[in-house]
Structure 1
Amino acid sequence: MSELDDVYVHRGLWTNWSQGPVLGRTITTDTRTGIIVISILAILSSVATTHLWHIVIFALHQIRARGCPSDLLFWQQQAILRTLPAPSALMAENVNLWWIWRKRAQCPFLRCFGHVLLAFVYVIGALSATISTSFVVQTSNVEVLVNTPFCNKYIHRDQKPGWSHLDKTLDRAASYRNRCYGEGVSLPETCHSILIQPRLLLQQSITQCPFSKSMCTKGHVQAISVDTGLLDLTSDLGLNLPRQEAVKIRKKTTCTVVPVQDHLRMVNASTDDVYRSEQEQGFGFTRPTTSQIEVPAVALGKNLRFSRDYGNLTFIFKPPNDGLPLGYGVKQVFALATPSNLTKWDVVPELKLDDADTVLVAIDLRGATYIAPVEDILFSAHRSNQNNSRFFSDRPVGLLGCTQQYQYCIARPSQTEYCTQLRGALLDIPPITLPSISPLQKAALKHFITITRNISSVRSTFGGYLNATASISPMPGLPPDQWVHEVIALETQFLSLLQVMFTDHATGYASGDGDAKNSTPPVQSRDRNDRSLLCNTQKMRKAGGFANINYFGLVFIIVMTTAIVLLDLYLLKILLFLSKFHRAMVPRLDRWIQDGILQLQRRAFEAETKGSWGKIDQEVPVTTTDEKLAELSHASLPQGYKVTQNFATSDLLAQRVSSSYLLSQWGADLISSLSRFKVGHDTTDLPHQVEDDVSDFSVSTMPDRSKD
């Protein structure tokens, strides 16, 4: 089985029902477009987190804006919050405040590092949000919807001996089983890039022999039961069905080693008869001859595939000197519990059950040789050559008898799912068997029934797969429970065939097999229960080249970003409008406005009696007339003295402290001092109080002559 061809991938919007009708909305596109979308989403996420931070800062400022008397540290923090600093800037500003006020204010560490912690947590959250946007787009090993005009079932012709496509299907299933159904826990990477569920699990247990006592081996483990559990056709086999249309299937197989001694026949048959039986079993060999030879045969019910009457014989094997393959040969027959012309085996009563199908597997052991004896009850080998260097099977043929039971479950709207009892395979779906079944569910069940019937036909024609198939001779030996491993191998072969045939129906047999001439593009049937309802419902995986964009996630990020940006831009205007109806909101909002840099500038001009002002209760104050305002003077220095360096003792004060704040601190003393001294006096003549106030500043003692 190979990866899905790019031309059969559905591009555009579709619904992945396994994720729900909302979260499952998916856009499939090429990888390049997916990368562009990831970049756009990252930008949108950054924009959203920036504006959301503004809202957080606004909320923090409003919570603190109670109007109560507080120390200067509090007012400096409010001024910093009003500037809407970035999270990193808020952390730096508060660390600086803590360092300056560490010995001057009460609990400066807790008061400052609370803001630092808030900014740090927000940065982590913003990074997480930005990273999470990348999950909206998947660019590797994505689930895709198969879309091909070749979706149709392959109708093989029973009378045609070639069955080329089914032969190839068996080979592809065996190859996939060898890769993806190994004993290791981890699977090769190629297994994860083809099917939705690369390996279906089996549950095994020891149980009682299901047949008559004469068909059970005494003194050994009675039987092994292998159960698939309920397989969901959506999550396990990749059918894209809504949850209310879900279909689940369970297959339970119970196998035991059937004693062959009482049913083994060595018959004299012409080579022509032997090879005709091989041809009638689907192998397609003929070799006319009249020589009489003795070949092994198994008599456990008439094989109806034989055109000649061989009596009660079920299997006839090739002569040992006539091209016997190395290792083992495997043949199968099956009998359905429900009478049908599909059954090609008139099973003996000892193997027949009313509630299960019966499968008989015959293994030709004549071509196997071993270095050591084999104790397994199916492959037992104790006959040896003269020097005991080679060991041969104790009998020419080994038999496995199995029962197969199926359980079918369907989801029902507003009700619990309905399940049948374990029974033989269904051939049709009468309403009494599965009441309230929908057309889509019926089509899915028919699809499964047809595939299982084809698997039985393939196995009865081409045999089966054995773990013990030898590539070299002689073989080193086999473990004593090898037959249990073979039962599991037969079931994993069934599962791999099931997976291969499900995907073959979706992609179309003609797309991958030139011999499948019966496969044609589907024509919409008037019968809505036809399997064509399942066309364009199969999901597979693609390792690369395509990207899946979650439609819900894409829309959610765009809508949330737009909403956050608009809220940040218009939040204050909305609150100001609401404050007309809720007067309690006015003081806090007014404090936000008055702490703004433009309002602080207005207050500085007013402190120097410059300008006549309007809109002083809004974010942007204006002068009532188009008047010219002189530059604000430096903070509280005697006129005529030049500032030789920044009057602030730190960058924080230089950036944040307004003229009105400085005037409030030194204004009174300076005004009283300047009233007694003329411009240009040396600072040594100033009172000590003034000297202390201006001691943090470096000033020139020379008068300012620039105006002279």
Structure 2
Amino acid sequence: MDANDSVYLGVWTNWSRGRILGSTLTLSRENGNYVIALTAFFIAFVATRFWRVSCFAFHRWLLTSASAETMHRQRQIILCNSSSPESGLVFLSVLLWPWRSLGIRRLFGLSLLILFVVMCVSGFVAAGSFSSRISTDVRNEVLLRADHCGLIHEPSKEENNMFNLLFAQKISSAINYAEQCYSSNRISSMVECERFIVPKLPRATTNYNASCPFQNDICRSNSSNIILDSGYIDSREHLGLNTPNTQRFQQRQVLHCAPLKTEGYESDFMVSDKKFIGYDYGNKTWGSRNDFTSKRYTYQVEDADF
């Protein structure tokens, strides 16, 4: 399945940025190009309308019933007839040159008008240049659909081969991901390594001299075991669950590992002409609350020597 098939297309809220700033529209690449082109056209249209409204405001503000000098009448004519900020800037600049001998004081109003036009042109040119940025989010994030999420139930005998094949594919994919993304010489910009919202989960503390987590002296060592403490893992920042703050949670993961003794806990048995070794550290139990299934071994493996 193509990865793009799992991306949600439409309007959604990126809760990591809040309800307002997180409002996001995700489109396909083709429709996104149409939106960019339409945005650039819309900015040009707004620039023209803004200029016409500004010309009308300046014309009414500078209008006078008294007899005015020629430069004032020419400026009013330009405000009435320029169709765009660019044409207005050209005509006003041309008007400024013949009347340069009047001095700075008498040309101050015209100079301020030219400065406003320059700012107007620069602002809309910058807006048009950055219109393509509308296609990328601050962190370039998308929302994934959950159409194919779920838990795999315990396979039946008929489904066991298919389950083993799926499990082998998942193991192979995990190994390839670890080799590409967690090796010391990996390339950080690889797209494949951007699968998760963070490259790796945090690890708060690591203790290599931990005690045995079991009783009855079952560990090989009582002081050389490992405790890995992740600290609090945030459902949004670390796991990428896009939920509002009321549904956000934090959970701490502590893993206590200890090699166990095997002497006195082994038992051999045959299954279909194959020899297995069962390690009996207690019963293995699974199932629902009212339907538990139990086996007499904790772990079994085929005898490699046999």
TM-score relative to the length of structure 1: 0.33
**Residue number in structure 2 paired with 1:249:** 250
**Residue number in structure 1 paired with 2:174:** 173
Structure 2 residue corresponding to 1:120, chosen from 97, 115, 118: 118
Residue 30 of structure 1: how far off its partner (Å): 3.7
Distance of 1:208 and 1:67 partners within structure 2: 92
- 8 A Cα contact 2:48 2:85, kept in partner: no
- 8 A Cα contact 1:207 1:224, kept in partner: yes
**Using CA pairs below 8 Å that are at least 6 residues apart, which structure has the higher relative contact order?**
1
**Residue number in structure 2 paired with 1:190:** 192
**Residue number in structure 2 paired with 1:215:** 222
**Residue number in structure 2 paired with 1:534:** none
Residue 207 of structure 1: how far off its partner (Å): 5.5
- 8 A Cα contact 1:10 1:146, kept in partner: yes
Quick one: which amino acid aligns to residue 305 of structure 2? D
Task: Spell out the pairing of 1:77-88 with structure 2 (5 A cutoff).
Answer: 77-88=75-86
Structure 2 residue corresponding to 1:287, chosen from 250, 264, 274: 274
Residue 202 of structure 1: how far off its partner (Å): 1.2
Distance of 2:98 and 2:154 partners within structure 1: 89
Distance of 1:240 and 1:267 partners within structure 2: 50
**Residue number in structure 2 paired with 1:471:** none
Give the direction of change, closer, same or farther, for the CA distance of 1:65–1:182 in structure 2 (3 Å limit): farther
Is 1:205 aligned with 2:205?
A: yes
SS of 1:229's equivalent?
strand
**Residue number in structure 1 paired with 2:128:** 130
**Residue number in structure 2 paired with 1:227:** 230
Residues paired across the two proteins, number: 283
- 8 A Cα contact 2:7 2:142, kept in partner: no
Cα deviations by residue, 1:186-220 (Å, 9 ceiling, x for unpaired): 3412334x55x152441443569553697223xxx
SS of 2:281's equivalent?
strand
- 8 A Cα contact 2:207 2:226, kept in partner: yes
Quick one: which amino acid aligns to residue 31 of structure 2? T
Quick one: which amino acid aligns to residue 101 of structure 1? W
- 8 A Cα contact 1:226 1:254, kept in partner: yes
Give the direction of change, closer, same or farther, for the CA distance of 1:190–1:247 in structure 2 (3 Å limit): same
Distance of 1:112 and 1:206 partners within structure 2: 72
Residue 50 of structure 1: how far off its partner (Å): 0.6
Distance of 1:124 and 1:231 partners within structure 2: 44
Quick one: which amino acid aligns to residue 322 of structure 1? D
SS of 1:251's equivalent?
strand
- 8 A Cα contact 1:14 1:27, kept in partner: yes
**Residue number in structure 2 paired with 1:419:** none
Quick one: which amino acid aligns to residue 304 of structure 1? N
Residue 35 of structure 1: how far off its partner (Å): 2.1
Quote the sequence identity (%): 18
TM-score relative to the length of structure 2: 0.67
Task: Spell out the pairing of 1:601-612 with structure 2 (5 A cutoff).
Answer: none
Distance of 1:109 and 1:286 partners within structure 2: 106
SS of 1:121's equivalent?
helix
Distance of 2:281 and 2:302 partners within structure 1: 18
Is 1:15 aligned with 2:22?
A: no
Distance of 1:137 and 1:145 partners within structure 2: 18
Task: Spell out the pairing of 1:525-564 with structure 2 (5 A cutoff).
Answer: none
Task: Spell out the pairing of 1:464-503 with structure 2 (5 A cutoff).
Answer: none
Give the direction of change, closer, same or farther, for the CA distance of 1:107–1:95 in structure 2 (3 Å limit): farther
- 8 A Cα contact 1:204 1:224, kept in partner: no
Residue 144 of structure 1: how far off its partner (Å): 4.5
Structure 2 residue corresponding to 1:302, chosen from 281, 285, 289: 281
Cα deviations by residue, 1:212-231 (Å, 9 ceiling, x for unpaired): 697223xxxx9664426332
Residue 255 of structure 1: how far off its partner (Å): 5.1
Uncovered stretches (5+) of structure 2, i.e. residues with no partner:
214-220, 285-293
Task: Spell out the pairing of 1:86-485 with structure 2 (5 A cutoff).
Answer: 86-107=84-105, 110-137=108-135, 143-146=142-145, 148=147, 152-157=150-155, 163-164=163-164, 165-182=166-183, 186-192=188-194, 194-195=195-196, 197=197, 199-205=199-205, 211=211, 215-217=222-224, 225-227=228-230, 229-233=232-236, 236-241=238-243, 243=244, 245-253=246-254, 264=261, 273=268, 287-288=274-275, 302-305=281-284, 322=305
Give the direction of change, closer, same or farther, for the CA distance of 1:58–1:215 in structure 2 (3 Å limit): farther
Give the direction of change, closer, same or farther, for the CA distance of 1:269–1:35 in structure 2 (3 Å limit): closer
- 8 A Cα contact 1:9 1:146, kept in partner: yes
Residue 52 of structure 1: how far off its partner (Å): 0.7
Distance of 2:133 and 2:178 partners within structure 1: 32
Uncovered stretches (5+) of structure 1, i.e. residues with no partner:
280-284, 290-294, 324-708
Distance of 2:302 and 2:135 partners within structure 1: 58
Cα deviations by residue, 1:153-177 (Å, 9 ceiling, x for unpaired): 3212499976523443333333333
**Residue number in structure 1 paired with 2:71:** 73
Quick one: which amino acid aligns to residue 281 of structure 2? K
SS of 1:253's equivalent?
strand
Cα deviations by residue, 1:374-425 (Å, 9 ceiling, x for unpaired): xxxxxxxxxxxxxxxxxxxxxxxxxxxxxxxxxxxxxxxxxxxxxxxxxxxx
- 8 A Cα contact 1:46 1:130, kept in partner: yes
Kindly report the root-mean-square deviation, in angstroms, between the aligned alpha carbons of the 2 structures.
4.6
Residue 126 of structure 1: how far off its partner (Å): 1.0
Distance of 1:124 and 1:216 partners within structure 2: 70
SS of 1:202's equivalent?
coil
Quick one: which amino acid aligns to residue 177 of structure 2? Y
Residue 181 of structure 1: how far off its partner (Å): 4.0
Distance of 2:144 and 2:182 partners within structure 1: 25
